[in-house]
Structure formats: structure tokens, C-alpha cells
């Protein structure tokens, strides 16, 4: 019995040592991560809030896509796709907001709550992130992209497609506090920026009860991490563009 107890004690201490090593590995960047961004951009807002939740310092570099700054040769050399957000972590360049967020969580997360290491839990977060990229945000931008930049009237067919995606998310949230389970993950942060825009544009999604409750919960969750200053303020800028084109 004593021998078994000794083996268990040794195993526990090896495990604790492993955890301590894992914790010490999650260090912060040696210098602030450069983020090329513009305040109203929804994917930039998601990255900025995720960085705040992770406690990662960003060196924000305004890149005014309205004035073609993203088409300059220096920028195109870094990101041939010329999109913001683009990240530079001591020479490691990355674009696509969801890739940037998962990289930051992998590299600098103090724990794995925002982006779980458990394969199945992570798979659900990834599924939600992909749903956002390819479906929810895509349908939002299909509807509002032309309205924000060119004006015109609401395309009801595109609005119906967006509603369909919101409905799917409403079902995903059944019995859950957050989109991938019981705690906030990067998927919630990626997704909320779309709803913040929709609210600023006075788009009615009140019929989707789970989404409405989640949205209010997320606003509170992100309050200490720049929800008002980053997300709402940015969405308001887009709402102003939208209104200026509607008149
Ligand atoms: N899927 C990308 C979308 C990035 C994107 O399209 N960003 C817009 C601003 S919100 C942009 O850079 N537009 C300029 C361009 O595509 O040339 C992401 O999540 O980062």
C-alpha cells in the first residue's frame, strides 16, 4: 500500500511540475504586437477585445483603407491580400482575425479558457469561428457592405439569409450561456462584433431570444475589455456611414 501511495505522490508531483512548466511557457511577447487596423472594422474590433481579455499589449497602427493605405507596397509586401487586421509579432506576420486571435491565445494565453486545448471543446469553438467566417459575418457583409459604402435600399433576400444564420445561432445557444458552452471563448468575441453592428444599424433581431440573452451577457462580459470604447464606438462609426448614404 505504502509503495502505491509513494508512486501516486510521485506522479502527482510530476504532473504539478508539468503544469508549472506549461504555465511558465505562456509568456508575453517581448515587444507589443503591431496591429494594423482601423477603428470601425469589425474583425479589427474582435482582435482588439481578444487581446485585452488575454492581457496582450498591442501597438495599434492606423491603416486607413478608405484612403488606400492598405494598397501601399509596404503593406502589400506584408499582406498581399491587403486586409486589416494584419498582425506583426516581432516579424511573424499574420492576417485573418480568427487566425490572429487563436494564435494570440495559443502563444500567450494564461490558461486555455478562451481557446480550449481539449480536442472536442476546441473543435466546437473552431466550428463556431468557421460558422462566423463563412456564414454569419459573410451574410451580414453581403447585406450591409453595399449599403454602408454605396447606399441603396435593404435587399430583402439577403436579409432573409442573414436571419436564417441568426436563427441557426439561436438554436446553437439552446441551453448554453455562450456559443461554445458555459464560458466565453474566442468564438463569442469574434461573433459579437456583428451583433454590435446590427444593433447600431437598428436591425431587428429581437425574435431570437437566445441570441438576445447571449448578446446582453456578452456585453457585460466584455465591459472591462473595451466593449464600449472599441466595439460600440466602432459600430457607431459604421452606422454614421450607413446613415450618410441613406440620405
Ligand atoms: N476575414 C477577414 C476579413 C478582413 C477584411 O475584409 N477586412 C476589411 C476591413 S473590415 C478590409 O481590409 N478591406 C480592405 C480590402 O479587402 O482591400 C478577417 O476576419 O480578418
Q: Which atom of ligand 1 is nearest to the CA of 83?
A: 12
Please state the pTM of the whole predicted model. Answer: 0.90
pLDDT for 153 equals 92
13, 26, 41, 153: the active-site residue: 41
What's the mean pLDDT when you consider all of the chain?
A: 92
Inform me whether the pLDDT recorded for 7 exceeds 90. Answer: no
pLDDT by residue (tens digit) across 230-240?
Answer: 999 999 999 99
pLDDT tier for residue 38 given thresholds of 50, 70 and 90: very high
pLDDT of residue 26: 52
19 C-alpha to ligand 1 centroid (Å) = 38
Q: Atom 5 in ligand 1: which residue has the minimum CA distance?
A: 83
- Inform me whether the pLDDT recorded for 116 exceeds 70: yes
**CATH of region 33-108:** 3.40.30.10
Measured from CB, residues less than 6 Å from any atom of ligand 1 are 41-43, 65, 70, 82-85, 96-97
CATH class, range 119-246? mainly alpha
How would you write the chain as a 3-class SS string? CHHHHHHHHHHHHHHHHHHHHHHHHCCCCCCCEEEEECCCCHHHHHHHHHHHHHCCCEEEEECCHHHCHHHCHHHHHHCCCCCCCEEEECCEEEECHHHHHHHHHHHHCCCCCCCCCCHHHHHHHHHHHHHHHHHHHHHHHHHHHHHHHCCCCCCHHHHHHHHHHHHHHHHHCCCCCECCECCCCHHHHHHHHHHHHHHHCCCCCCCCHHHHHHHHHHHHHHHHHCHHHHHHHHHHHHHHHHHHHHC
Q: List pLDDT tens digits, range 51-68.
A: 999 999 999 999 999 999
Q: Domain spans of the chain?
A: 33-108, 119-246
CA 85 to ligand 1: nearest atom: 20
- 244 part of the active site: no
Residue of 81, 83, 101, 142 best suited for mutating to test ligand 1, as the one with most atoms within 8 Å of CB: 83
* Structure confidence by residue, pLDDT tens digits, 16-36: 444 444 444 457 999 999 999
In this predicted model, what pLDDT tens digit does every residue of 175-232 receive, in sequence order? 999 999 999 999 999 999 999 999 999 999 999 999 999 999 999 999 999 999 999 9
Amino acid at each position: 500500500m505504502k509503495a502505491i501511495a509513494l508512486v501516486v505522490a510521485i506522479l502527482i508531483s510530476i504532473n504539478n511540475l508539468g503544469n508549472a512548466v506549461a504555465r511558465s511557457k505562456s509568456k508575453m511577447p517581448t515587444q507589443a504586437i503591431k496591429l494594423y487596423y482601423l477603428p470601425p472594422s469589425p474583425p479589427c474590433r474582435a482582435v482588439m477585445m481578444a487581446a485585452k481579455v488575454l492581457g496582450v499589449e498591442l501597438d495599434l497602427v492606423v491603416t486607413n483603407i478608405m484612403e488606400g493605405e492598405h494598397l501601399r507596397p509596404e503593406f502589400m509586401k506584408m499582406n498581399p491580400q491587403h486586409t486589416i487586421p494584419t498582425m506583426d509579432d516581432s516579424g511573424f506576420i499574420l492576417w485573418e482575425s480568427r487566425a490572429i486571435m487563436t494564435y494570440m491565445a495559443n502563444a500567450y494565453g494564461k490558461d486555455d479558457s478562451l481557446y480550449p486545448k481539449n480536442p472536442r471543446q476546441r473543435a466546437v469553438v473552431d466550428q463556431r469561428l468557421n460558422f462566423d467566417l463563412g456564414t454569419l459575418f459573410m451574410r451580414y457583409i453581403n447585406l450591409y457592405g453595399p449599403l454602408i459604402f454605396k447606399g441603396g435600399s435593404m435587399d430583402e433576400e439577403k436579409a432573409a439569409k442573414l436571419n436564417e444564420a441568426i436563427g441557426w445561432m439561436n438554436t446553437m445557444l439552446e441551453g448554453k450561456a455562450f456559443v461554445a458552452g458555459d464560458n466565453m471563448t474566442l468564438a463569442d468575441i469574434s461573433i459579437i462584433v456583428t451583433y454590435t453592428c446590427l444593433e447600431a444599424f437598428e436591425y431587428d433581431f429581437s425574435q431570437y431570444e437566445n441570441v438576445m440573452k447571449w448578446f446582453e451577457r456578452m456585453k457585460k462580459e466584455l465591459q472591462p475589455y473595451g466593449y464600449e470604447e472599441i466595439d460600440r464606438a466602432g459600430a457607431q462609426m459604421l452606422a454614421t456611414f450607413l446613415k450618410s448614404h441613406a440620405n
